[in-house]
């Protein structure tokens, strides 16, 4: 898995485009979250939901992990965490701030952890912080297909992103189904408020459709 800039065959994500337009974008993002952490802000809401989904000492993939705040909480809770993000600046921050999990630079559209020596599938996958909405539209189904392929048949994926970001929720759910992921539970917040037609956020807890992992 390589950062997207090295692979002209894969369309660049909106995040990579922002980083290209503003070279300080990624460093500023890191600093923003470091400041919030230093101020004692609660940065673990998504991770608490994911922890509740998992058996103890589970294997978790933090997909689009950024500087690692979600994966770090899950590692502290005793899980084995692998984080993957396309932005090398954010992965460098994750490595510096949160030793323990294994952090990799990589594009989710090319996710292939067995090729990196991690053959075991995951009990849980978390994709927080609007990652889905930052993906290049042409890669969305492929990313979901690869996430499905890295999930155990009895595992679950929790994916959250906001409305009005160019990826309508019904389109996302259609793409997930095509990728072999069916909704177990739809919420409108990471603290378990129900999803409804007026929701401005979706947290989808998805289960693998058996036999649909390739
Ligand atoms: C707003 S940040 C969220 C980071 C982290 N999940 C969190 O909640 O703190 C969005 C992340 O999506 C990542 N991202 C976007 N497209 C990606 C792709 N195709 N492959 C891997 N990461 C991607 C970006 O690099 C960025 O770290």
Q: Is residue 155 part of a domain?
A: yes
Output the residue whose Cα is nearest ligand 1's atom 1.
129
Residue 163 placed within a domain: yes
- Residue 4, in any domain of the structure: no
* pLDDT value, residue 4: 43
Cβ distance 44 to 198 under 8 Å? Answer: no
Could you report the per-residue pLDDT of 194-204, keeping only the tens digit for each?
999 999 999 99
- Our count of domains for the chain comes to 1
Give the pLDDT band (50/70/90) at residue 3.
very low
Mean pLDDT on 60-75: 98
Q: Give the pLDDT band of residue 10 (cuts 50, 70, 90).
A: confident
Q: Flag whether 31 is in a domain.
A: yes
Q: Look up the CATH number of the domain holding residue 95.
A: 3.40.50.150
**Per-residue pLDDT at 214 exceeds 80:** no
**Residue 69 domain boundaries:** 14-208
1 Cα: distance to centroid of ligand 1 (angstroms): 15
What is the pTM assigned to this prediction? 0.95
Cα–Cα distance for residue pair 188/212, rounded to 1 Å: 27
Alpha carbon of 133 to ligand 1 centroid (Å): 9
Distances (CA, A) of 187 to 49, 51, 70, 131, 184: 11, 16, 18, 17, 10
CB–CB of 121/10 below 8 Å? no
Q: For residue 46, which atom of ligand 1 is closest to its CA?
A: 8
Query: Does residue 88 lie in a domain region?
Result: yes
CB 96 within 8 A of CB 102: no
From 17, 19, 66, give the residue whose CB has the most ligand 1 atoms within 8 Å, as the site to mutate. Answer: 66
Ramachandran quadrant class, 211 (left: phi over 0; alpha: psi -120 to 50; beta: rest): left
Of the two residues 87 and 6, the one the predictor is more confident about is 87
**181-202 b/e (C-beta count within 10 Å ≥ 16 → b):** beeeebbbbbeeeebeeebebb
Residues with CB under 6 A from ligand 1: 13, 15, 64-66, 69-70, 85-87, 90, 107-109, 128-131, 134-135
Q: Mutate which of 22, 37, 64, 142 to test ligand 1's pocket (most atoms within 8 Å of Cβ)?
A: 64
Q: Is residue 36 part of a domain?
A: yes
* Distance of alpha carbon 15 from alpha carbon 193, whole angstroms: 28
Q: Strand order in 181-187's β-sheet?
A: 102-105, 80-85, 59-63, 122-127, 151-162, 201-208, 181-187
- Domain membership flag for residue 213: no
| pLDDT (0 to 100) of residue 9 | 65
């Amino acid at each position: 898995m390589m950062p997207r800039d090295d692979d002209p065959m894969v369309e660049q994500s909106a995040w990579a485009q922002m980083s290209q337009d503003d070279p300080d974008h990624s460093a500023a993002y890191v600093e923003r979250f470091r400041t919030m952490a230093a101020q004692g802000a609660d940065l673990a809401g998504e991770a608490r939901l994911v922890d509740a989904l998992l058996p103890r000492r589970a294997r978790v993939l933090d997909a689009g992990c950024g500087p690692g705040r979600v994966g770090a909480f899950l590692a502290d809770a005793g899980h084995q965490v692998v984080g993957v993000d396309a932005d090398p600046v954010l992965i460098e921050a994750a490595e510096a701030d949160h030793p323990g999990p294994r952090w990799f630079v990589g594009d989710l559209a090319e996710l292939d952890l067995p090729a990196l020596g991690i053959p075991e599938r995951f009990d849980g996958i978390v994709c927080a912080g609007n990652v889905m909405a930052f993906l290049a539209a042409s890669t969305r189904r492929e990313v979901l297909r690869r996430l499905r392929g890295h999930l155990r048949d009895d595992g679950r994926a929790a994916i959250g992103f906001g409305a009005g970001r160019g990826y309508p929720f019904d389109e996302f759910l259609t793409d997930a189904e095509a990728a072999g992921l069916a909704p177990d539970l739809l919420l409108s917040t990471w603290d378990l408020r129900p999803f409804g037609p007026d929701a401005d956020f979706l947290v989808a807890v998805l289960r693998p459709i058996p036999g649909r992992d390739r």
